[in-house]
Amino acid sequence: VVDMRRELMSGNKTMFSRLLYEKLRERLEKGEQSMLFLNRRGYSSFISCRSCGEAVRCPHCDVTLTLHRNGQLKCHYCGYVVPMVRNCPSCGSPYVAGFGTGTQKVEEKLKELFPDARILRMDMDTTQGKNGHEAIIAAFANEEADILVGTQMIVKGHDFGRVTLVGALAADTSLFASDFRACERTFQLLTQAAGRAGRSGLQGEMVIQTYKPDHYSIQTAAGQNYEAFYQEEIQYRKMMHYPPCICMAELIFSSPSEENAAQAAKAVAEHLRSRLHSRQGQVLGPAAADIGKINDIYYYHMFLRMADREQLNGELEAVNSF
């Protein structure tokens, strides 16, 4: 686990830690292969401080705020909005910005650092053609490349005998996604990625680059310790009233008219709140969805939380007849 805050303090402002650079160089000299992946969802950015590693969170939902093109930070659970911050709310540092680096930029930097290395990139852009995914996997399996760069699709279930190094360039990107399951998904992905290295008897290593090296999701993934992760995560779920400690449903509203989608979501939210006035339940939102517009269709959503699944199903049926 590499603390990228220390890398910044030492003057290294690149996306590659000194440790990862050295290990990549060693693999190239030995003729072994490496995989580098960006641990991210890929649609929206969160705001993170490079000095202290904290992300800007919603004060009401304990999920990260998402940066939108208009410069606003929004919560996609309850709709909370605040202007883009200039300084970190935790430490006051001015080194705050949207987090995330594209795979294409990683590929370009690798070519600058290792001009003789054979590099393949696998993401949505390079796999759009017929059999594009299979062609890249086959080429890497046939040792036609030294380094495979990609999103999380490259670490799921593949078996490459010459891969001895896996690097997670931005573990924080999924760790601070605006979803209550972010820590769980980060743990899943990192433990899965670690299994790609050293599969044929060769010694395998993984380098996890992060601004939150002490986070339980990072530490337990590095130690492959599911039980320890569960004990930490279940406490968070209980405290914040998230599944599996409570039942929750997401309601999605879509329309070619943004106003219609927003009004429908608002009407249903008010209807549900009036029904829940005398029972145990909570409505979060409505708010614009993570991706607010797709193919000229606007999306709004809300979340309904209740302690009992049968009651939750009953409320959802009431929405259908509303």
pLDDT means per 10 residues, the chain with 322 residues, are 93 92 96 84 63 85 76 82 90 80 80 95 69 83 92 75 89 83 93 77 88 94 95 96 94 96 96 81 90 84 93 90 78
Bridge-partner residues for 248, per DSSP? 305
- Integer Cα distance of 192 and 194 in angstroms: 5
- Integer Cα distance of 190 and 198 in angstroms: 15
3-class SS of residue 136: helix
- Contacting residues for 137 by C-beta, under 8 A, at least 6 apart: 122, 158
Structure tokens at 79: 């709709």
- Integer Cα distance of 196 and 174 in angstroms: 19
In the Cβ-directed half-sphere of 288, how many Cα atoms lie within 13 Å?
21
Where in the chain does DSSP place strands (E)? 2-3, 33-37, 45-49, 66-67, 72-74, 81-83, 96-98, 119-122, 147-150, 163-168, 205-210, 247-255, 282-294, 297-306
3-class SS of residue 106: helix
